[in-house]
Chain A
Amino acid sequence: MTTLDTDVLVVGGGPAATWAALRAAQRGADVVLADKGYCGTSGATASAGTGVWYVPPDPEAREAAMAAREGLGGYLADRRWMGRVLDQTYAQMNELAEVARYPFPTGPDGAPLRTGLQGPEYMRRMRVLVRRAGVRVLDHSPVRELLVDRDGAVAGAVGHRRQEGADYRVRSGAVVLATGGCAFLSKALGCDVNTGDGALFAAEVGAELSGMEFSNAYGIAPEHTSVTKTAFYSYATFSRADGEVLEGAGSARGRSVIARTLLSEKVFCVLDRADEPTRRAMRLAQPNFFLTFDRLGIDPFTQRFAVTLLAEGTVRGTGGIRITGDDCATTVVGLYAAGDAATREPICGGFTGGGSHNAAWAMSSGAWAGAGAAAFALAEGRHRDRPVRAAGGAGLRPTGFGAAPSAAEAIRLVQREVLPYDINYLRHGDRLRAALSELDGVWTALREHAFADGSGAGRLRSAAAMTAHARWMYHSALTRTESRGMAKRLDFPEQDPTQHHRVLSGGLDRVRTWTEAVA
């Protein structure tokens, strides 16, 4: 097996991963970046594009930006972190303009507009920056497990180079997990690489999760298609098949009405609230939004089309690996988390971080994690020869003999418990408990019996990661016996002031949850 020696290994290839790799390299670390897909095209951002929480350093504007979503997030965000992320994001967006020469547009008044990024252009340029900084980029090289040393500190990873058909190993002084959230292979735009792998790797070495109840994000898309860009649905009128307007349905607050209706009938939509100049501007802002319609032969402004909701799990939710320091360290020595793989509660609380907040978080946390991992690895300097062991469990090291589900079967079983709106979106304790018992069965079968190596390991590990993710989600959702942020419960519809805390979770064979006071 090929072994690479490095200071910092970054796992992932999206915005958080590339910023982490870039900063680590700039701090003098030798860096390897291993992406499951292709760094520059893979992940939720590259195919889409996103608003960015870019607010000039004007005290009033900053105050308004911080206050805007605190209530929506159930008051679980943290002002100190919001301030840090706003500062960091402002600087990095300007760096994108000046160093990466990202072609930001200018507004009607001639001033540059830096409140958003088009995914393909952004990530193409991030790949260039990373390579220019000397980072060794391994594309199509899904990591399958972490390596730890005798003290339990993270010491690298093992993976498979799928286009070369060979396993590889990286020994490193620190690891940054920037693998994205988990969208359960729902076909939401660009998200099929986001199967929560990083959270599985982290939990296997003892890291903890936070906010996993905030994991029921669903994006609107035309039926049978992938483009889940939802901003423009604020111009929509939703209706039933017979044309009757669906009262209360909307893109922002009325999405649950759409979900409830979709359980028994189709929901249609037309973007009839956009006037002509708005329509023209919409096309310029989001070309991929119109790609779908142009290719379906539908004029979305005048013709009704059926819509669906695609699960975006913790990609647009806010839960993820718990971080314990300003440098995005975790509870495990040598392990750092960034982007959607990490919890975004510090700036979002319990309300979807989709779009601008997640984008700001990805670049900020990526930069901090990269710098933190570099500082740690360079100071420790102990990684070269220490003995290590591989930490992977489910799918790699079965504990018994018996019939195991294939990766495809396990994925189907998990999807059956997490994609349906009446289980994961419109949550009720009874249904969550029933789903958990199915998911526990899938986990046990995977953990005890499933095995794959080489090219088959990646998919099986993704299936295991999705199963683990779903179990942390539902355990956390059951722990929060109230409705707060996006974690709403039909059986506990009110916010409970005594539950103004974070819900932490961890464990694999036995999942546990506990709470932590908000700073």
Chain B
Amino acid sequence: MIELLDPERCVSCDKCVKVCPTDVFDLGADGVPVIARQSDCQTCFQCEANCPTDALYVAPHTTPLPPGSPEHDVAHLVETGLLGSYRAHLGWGRGRTPGAALAVGPSLTPSGPRLIS
């Protein structure tokens, strides 16, 4: 679920408000979007992938993390390389190569095609 929105990194583009398929965010009065309906989050990582400044973090759990979890700490997420990691893998962002162009996986069967998604 969405667990973190870092107001320091946020540039108030409101893209997360727009792209979240389950409408989890509200516009914030101070320009920083608000995680208004966390329980509607479907853990699809789309907000994070679309955030141009890596200000969002989606934990893989489909239920909320307890308060005080290390994943609520930006420094921890930066240190572990997790913040923005999905966007980096997708190759979204200036100067990056689209991940789709590099996606040559294994063949699941000896004569089968290489998996590319």
Interface residues of A (CB under 8 A from B): 36-38, 40-43, 46-47, 49-52, 102-108, 113, 115-121, 139-140, 162-163, 187, 189-193, 222, 224-227, 231, 234, 274, 277-278, 281-282, 284-288, 290-292, 294-296
Contact = CB atoms under 8 A, between A and B. Distances in A.
Contact of A224 (B18, B63, B99): B63
B44 interface: yes
A36 B98 CA distance: 28
B6 to A, nearest CB: 17
Contacts of B103: 105, 116, 118, 284-286
Nearest to A189: B44
A392 to B, nearest CB: 21
A64 B62 CA distance: 40
A119 B22 CA distance: 17
Contacts of B92: 120
Contact of B23 (A113, A140, A282, A287): A140
A225 B42 contact: no
Given A284-B99, A295-B71, 10 more contacts: A47-B44, A105-B100, A105-B101, A190-B44, A192-B40, A226-B60, A274-B106, A281-B115, A284-B105, A295-B59
**Chain B, interface SS category:** loop
A50 B21 CA distance: 19
B113 to A, nearest CB: 5
A106 B104 CA distance: 8
Most buried by A among B40, B49, B105, B113: B105
Contacts of B23: 37, 140, 162-163
A107 B45 contact: no
Nearest to B44: A47
B108 interface: yes
A231 B19 contact: no
B104 A105 contact: yes
A222 B115 contact: no
Contacts of A105: 100-104, 116
Interface of B: 17-23, 40, 42-46, 49-50, 59-63, 71, 82, 85-86, 89-90, 92, 98-106, 108, 113-117
A51 B100 CA distance: 13
Nearest to B113: A115
Given A102-B100, A105-B116, A292-B60, A120 B82 contact: no
B60 A231 contact: no
Contacts of A106: 104
A47 B45 contact: yes
Contact of B61 (A37, A225, A234, A290): A225
Nearest to B102: A284
B96 to A, nearest CB: 11
A287 B89 contact: yes
Contacts of B62: 187, 224-226
A120 B90 contact: yes
A104 B42 CA distance: 28
B61 A192 contact: no
B22 A113 contact: no
Nearest to B115: A285
Contact of B116 (A116, A222, A288): A116
A89 to B, nearest CB: 14
B22 to A, nearest CB: 6
Nearest to B61: A224
Most buried by B among A36, A105, A231: A105
Contacts of B46: 41, 46-47, 120
List the 6 closest pairs (A to B, CB-CB), nearest first. A285-B105, A37-B21, A116-B117, A42-B21, A287-B89, A49-B117
